[in-house]
Amino acid sequence: MNNPYKKNHEIISTYLNMLTDDLNHGLIVLSKGGLGKTTLILDSMKSKQLIQDIHYIYANSFSTPLAFYKLLDSVNALQSPKILILDDMELLLSDKHILGMLRAALWEAGGKRVVNYHSTTQKKTSTDFTGKIIMLINDLPKDNKVLNALCDRVFFHEIKLSNNEILELIQQNIVQKPYKTLNLRQRVKIAEAIKERTTENTNLSFRTLIKAYQFYIYAPSSWLNMLDASMNITSQKQINTPSGLF
């Protein structure tokens, strides 16, 4: 089986090349939580020798439209290619003012991308946004018209991994990496336990392994019971998820 992480890394790297060549101003990366999209993006940045806070800003929290506006302004001050990575976007998706600024930052009008901010307590300000935006999302709400319109305008990539692919990556790659006090033999043992409990209904992710590591360290006599309970809950969530986009 081809390494799915490497395949997705190559695709993301291609999109980054296209962004830096000004073929588009944005990229949306969609996957369920726990499939490593944040790591994938940051690894791609590193492979291109792009440095955080010099060439790109990584942001996973901001509280107000004003904070988001200031964030866009900060990206303008970066060195090229001036990339803003937006992670953990639940707040953004629920705020129509932030979504409006996001749309303005990605859509040209008259050859410029002018983002305006104004409130009842502060006079109107504007900035001509010159950067790129990468958005990492766990879900694509069908009723969010702005986000769905953005998906049509910017580059879009969905990361899909089967349970077998996730298990292969866990067993061949991730367990080779140190984790706190666990030795390799213990990490392999934990990965085998996850594989034995995985069914087609299991909502498996790389976070499953991290939880299992933690169970093993903190409850060495009952970690398997904790793993059973944790994986049974995620399996039930998968069964109860209505059919639709995924």
What phi and psi values does residue 221 have, to the nearest 5 degrees? -95, -15
- What is the DSSP track for 12-70? HHHHHHHHHTTS-SEEEEE--TTS-HHHHHHHHHHHTT--BTTTEEEES---SHHHHHH
**Rounded mean pLDDT, 169-184:** 96
pLDDT category of residue 94 using cuts at 50, 70 and 90: confident
pTM above 0.85, yes or no: yes
Q: Which two three-digit tokens encode residue 219?
A: 């409850």
- Neighbouring CB atoms inside 10 A of 75's CB total 21
Whether 235 and 203 have beta carbons less than 8 Å apart is answered as yes
Q: Residue 84 has what pLDDT?
A: 97
- Side chain identity at 121, as an amino acid letter? T
- Rounded Cα distance between 166 and 158, Å, is 15
| Bond prior to 220 in cis (omega within 30° of 0) | no
pLDDT mean across residues, the chain: 89
H/E run at residue 212: helix 206-218
- Rounded Cα distance between 49 and 31, Å, is 25
List b or e across 214-239, with b for residues whose CB sees 16 or more CB atoms inside 10 angstroms.
ebbeeeeeebbebbeebbeebbeeee
Q: If we measure between CA atoms, which residue out of 157, 56, 144, 45 comes closest to residue 92?
A: 144
Give the model confidence (pLDDT) of 13-31 as tens digits. 999 999 999 999 999 999 9
- Rounded Cα distance between 207 and 39, Å, is 13
- Neighbouring CB atoms inside 10 A of 121's CB total 6
- Rounded Cα distance between 144 and 137, Å, is 13
- What is the DSSP track for 49-60? T--BTTTEEEES
Question: What is the DSSP-derived secondary structure letter of residue 242?
Answer: P
Percentage of residues of the chain with pLDDT beyond 90: 71
Q: What end-to-end distance do the CA atoms of the chain give, in Å?
A: 23
Percentage of residues of the chain with pLDDT beyond 70: 91
Q: Which two three-digit tokens encode residue 215?
A: 């169970």
Is pLDDT of 237 > 70? no
